[in-house]
Chains A and B, each alone.
Chain A
């Protein structure tokens, strides 16, 4: 294990910022969810790296990562179901045009 912890943290920070850019710059709601996936993965890299480098006998980091997996799966399922439902009614997936709750 000859890799410093900082390499993982910087990689995760870069991946998080790429995901953030995707979320803020894309118009398509599905593409926004793709950006969110990248951000969740960056968080998971951090959790697992801290588990390995700080206290591998304590499984907190990996247990947290498993919970993040479950939440990510739930988020994608509900998010995509909402997008498909909106698409069926409004014939659009552009986030700006989905303004039913705006008045």
Chain B
């Protein structure tokens, strides 16, 4: 077992362990903090996969913006569910069963695909992945249209979120 595999297993345990805490822990603020741990593990996975730009974006956008937004929302709404009652639906073995079923189905499916045990070849010499991604996102014969659509979507979401969350004056 190589050092890389050991790092992967530790990171995977971090991602899945804190993911389980996110869906089971009672206090929602703690759940949001566990989400930060899980997302950080995913950033480490991106780094292992040599997707440098995505590893940084994962930390900046997911942990820096989305997780903080969740913590804000939890603090703005918490109160009642904190003290009284349970956080989960009454028959929660049903979702657990469904999740396990889908997981086992996916694992069988993944292991039956030919070539899935391959390890990755080294990156082509001289390939700068950050530069290549930047070029691909703005070049007309690559992904400039999805990129622009995403930016319009972000703008619409921004305006929509501000409009929906603003208190109405009465």
Contacts and interface: CB of A to CB of B under 8 A. Distances in A.
Nearest to B106: A13
B contacts with A: majority SS: helix
Contacts of B10: none
Interface string A44-84: 11001101110011011011011101111111111011111
Interface band, chain A:
35 or more
Contact of B51 (A48, A80, A93): A48
Nearest to B102: A17
Contacts of B48: 3
A contacts with B: majority SS: helix
B99 A21 contact: yes
A51 to B, nearest CB: 7
B23 A11 contact: no
A59 to B, nearest CB: 4
Contacts, number: 256
Nearest to A53: B120
Contacts of B4: 1-3
Contact of B99 (A18, A34, A48): A18
B164 A4 contact: no
Interface of B: 2, 4-5, 8, 12, 15-16, 19-20, 22-23, 28, 31-32, 35, 38-39, 42, 45-46, 48-51, 53-54, 57-58, 61-62, 65-66, 69-70, 72-74, 76-77, 80-81, 86-89, 92, 94-96, 98-100, 102-103, 106-107, 110-111, 115-124, 127, 129, 132-133, 135-137, 142-143, 146-147, 150-151, 153-154, 156-158, 160-162, 164-165, 167
